[in-house]
Amino acid sequence: MTYTHLSQCLDDLERHGQLVRIDQEIDPHLEMGAIQRRVFQAGGPALLFTRVKGCSFPMAGNIFGTVDRIRFIFRKTLPRVRRVLAAKADPSVLLKRPWQVPSLALAAYHALPRKVFTGPILEHETTLSDLPQLVSWPMDGGPYVTLPQVYTHSPQRPGMRFSNMGMYRVQLAGNEFVPNKEVGLHYQICRGIGVHHAEAIEKSQALRVNIFVGGPPAMTLAAIMPLPENLPELFFAGMLAGHRIPMVTRSGHLPMPAQADFCISGIVDPHAQKPEGPFGDHLGYYSLTHPFPVLKVTSVLHRPHAIWPFTTVGRPPQEDTIFGTFIHELTRDLVPTVFSGIHQVHAVDAAGVHPLLLALGSERYVPYAPVRKPRELVTNGLALLGSTQTSLAKYLFIAAREDDLSLSCHHVPAFFRHVLERLDPTRDLHFVTKTTMDTLDYSGTGLNEGSKVMWTVAGPPVNRLATQLPTRFHLPGAFTNPRVFEPGMLVIQGPRHQLPRDTADPLVDVLCNTLQSQGDDFGFPLLVIVDDPDFTTRTWDNFLWVTFTRSDPATDIYGVGSFIRCKHWGCTGPVIIDARIKSFHAPLLDPDPAIEKKVDALGAPGGPLHGII
């Protein structure tokens, strides 16, 4: 079955036992987000909240809460989309399977939007304050749209052919926004809307923006797809939806999906900014208040019986984790066509996606060399850090596929063990400093600023990975509680961090000198300093989250026997990552205990979530 609008999808999920209605009144301020997160963690169904406190519109959450449910929603069109992507990855497939050509032609036809003169979205108008006011976390700066489809045209090449549609944060109220007149538009670096905004600034003209909510589920998925700049997300949505997306245009406005549930229209003045945030984000911390573009709203439209879809984000895994898993499933065969020499990539969700990227590449530059060492891998790594969404990676670990054909960068423990067995810290770490980094990452030297590092390994194992501390091992007084996490990986507790941003810690230098006095090789190529070793070593997810969200490579990587030679940094002994919470880091996301008790009551016998959470 294909869906032209959201209600069809929700009705279908309900018929198949994959949606639960909650008919008692639920507050969108904290309570609804907490419910959605708990049901997601339990692997539960989609949720339809029919009585939303303070709002006449129903809300739907956890729609995309499992990969199986996404596959179910797109069960009719996924085989065709997969064939299109397979043909993109290997065009010779059309010669091998010519009977697939008509199916691919139909997919291409569905990709083209269809212009219409009217549609349900034009039937009703409302105000920003009458929309659902979802607040997910206690310190959020106001209500947010959490599944928006933010749509713009290129000012230099207007039209749907050069449109962009992305899922950028939209703050509906709070801070300095004029009530019912303005919303905050927070987009991170390396996003398509930024290109359009830059063009508008260059031409000194306002940028028109439409924010769609709901509509065909394919529109939501398309808004988060990492597509090439020459392929509009709107076109991909048509392929995934299995029909041409009908787009209706009002005079003086951008097109909008005729079947959208809501559309917020407005303009961004070239240089207008206002404070936006804070907001509980997908790294597991709050992103704080900063100036971002402000959208001056000209209209808020909705279809009859409109439903407001939403999600909440927080420390992974969350519903956006499922989006990432599904996208990888769709696009994994395209990786070698985008990055020559790269066979596999994994943006690690447990580490907040952008902080940690694992990759498998080829090392073929000098096949006759008596010693294999990273050469092509460095080129491949620079390509990953130089284009598309992988350019936001902060830590890149890249290994040569030829050294172990069974290795997968999706098997994280095995991948780390492979890397540490082969790491030569005198040559294999490559830093990029004073560069851009993810807008949501507060570990760097400033907003959007920080560093990156590549760990490149090739060749046979050269390190013995220990599982026990040597008898001679000891730490200086400021550091305590050493824990062996995995072979070759040691976690220790450090003192509370109290230094300013962009400052190395002399206490860690003392640690390095103490370890060097005990000999360079004690079987632990990687040592991580944390605030709480018990928590960090409890699970791999905890280790990845702590280590890679709380450190900036150039500031927080140290080494035993470190040196700089011809501008290259290296060390002779273990690499040390300082992953303590820094004095300047954003606050952690902590749920409201009173709200959690309310959610517990919904899961008690007789409650609508009994047996689900």
Residues 147 and 261 in one domain: yes
Residues 21 and 120 in one domain: yes
Q: Got the DSSP string for 242-310?
A: TSPPEEE--TTS--EETT-SEEEEEEE-TT-EEEE--EE-TTSBEE--EEEEEEEEEEEEE-TT--EEE
This model's pTM is above 0.85: yes
Cα separation of 263 and 430, whole Å?
46
User: In terms of C-beta density within 10 A (0-12 exposed, 13-18 middle, 19 or more buried), how is residue 159 classed?
Assistant: exposed
Range of the domain at 100: 6-310
H or E element at residue 22: strand 19-22
Q: 563 is written with which tokens?
A: 């040196």
Residues 341 and 440 in one domain: yes
Domain assignment present for 484:
no
Coil, helix or strand at residue 544: helix
Residues 268 and 176 in one domain: yes
Residues 337 and 267 in one domain: no
Q: pLDDT at residue 534 above 90? A: yes
Is-contact 393 436, C-beta < 8 A?
no
Q: For all residues of the chain together, what is the average pLDDT? A: 93
Instruction: Report strand pairing: 149-153 vs 163-166.
Output: antiparallel
Each residue's pLDDT tens digit, 457-498: 999 999 999 999 988 899 998 999 999 999 999 999 999 999
Over range 245-262, report the average pLDDT. Answer: 94
User: In terms of C-beta density within 10 A (0-12 exposed, 13-18 middle, 19 or more buried), how is residue 193 classed?
Assistant: buried
Output the pLDDT for position 381: 93
Is-contact 456 430, C-beta < 8 A?
yes
Last residue in a domain, options 426, 457, 488? 457
Residue with tokens 């696009």: 331
Each residue's pLDDT tens digit, 129-166: 999 999 999 999 999 999 999 999 999 989 899 999 99
CATH number of the domain enclosing 432: 3.40.1670.10
Each residue's pLDDT tens digit, 7-48: 999 999 999 999 999 999 999 999 999 999 999 999 999 999
Q: pLDDT at residue 239 above 90? A: yes
Residues 29 and 163 in one domain: yes
Each residue's pLDDT tens digit, 158-189: 989 999 999 999 999 999 999 999 999 998 87
Output the pLDDT for position 391: 87
Between 306 and 335, name the one with better pLDDT: 306
Output the pLDDT for position 390: 87
Residues 293 and 392 in one domain: no
**Alpha-helix runs per DSSP H in 495-577:** 506-516, 533-536, 540-549, 553-556
Cα separation of 604 and 184, whole Å?
38
Q: What is the 3-state secondary structure (H, E, C) of 342-409?
A: EEEEEECHHHCCCCEEEEEECCCCCCCCCCCCCCHHHHHHHHHCCCCHHHHCCEEEEEEHHHCCCCCC
Q: pLDDT at residue 263 above 80? A: yes
Each residue's pLDDT tens digit, 586-607: 999 999 999 999 999 999 999 9
Residue with tokens 């407001």: 308
Last residue in a domain, options 277, 310, 343? 310
Output the pLDDT for position 329: 87
Q: Kindly report which listed range (88-92, 196-200, 433-437, 538-542) carries the lowest average pLDDT score.
A: 88-92
Side-chain-side CA neighbours of residue 232 (13 Å): 23
Each residue's pLDDT tens digit, 570-582: 999 999 999 999 9
Q: Give the whole-number percent of the chain exceeding pLDDT 90.
A: 80
Cα separation of 8 and 369, whole Å?
61
Is-contact 601 607, C-beta < 8 A?
yes
Q: pLDDT at residue 439 above 90? A: no
The overall longest dimension of the chain from CA atoms, in Å, is: 79
User: In terms of C-beta density within 10 A (0-12 exposed, 13-18 middle, 19 or more buried), how is residue 418 classed?
Assistant: buried
Cα separation of 398 and 377, whole Å?
7
Domain assignment present for 130:
yes
Cα separation of 82 and 79, whole Å?
5
Q: Give the whole-number percent of the chain exceeding pLDDT 70.
A: 97
Q: pLDDT at residue 117 above 80? A: yes
Output the pLDDT for position 102: 60
Residues 277 and 335 in one domain: no
Residues 29 and 174 in one domain: yes
Output the pLDDT for position 537: 98
Domain assignment present for 274:
yes
Output the pLDDT for position 94: 46
Domain assignment present for 556:
no
Phi, psi angle pair for 134, to nearest 5°: -75, 120
Output the pLDDT for position 126: 98
Between 440 and 611, name the one with better pLDDT: 611
Last residue in a domain, options 435, 457, 479? 457
Over range 490-509, report the average pLDDT. Answer: 96
Output the pLDDT for position 452: 97
Domain assignment present for 595:
no
- Per the structure, how many domains does the chain have? 2
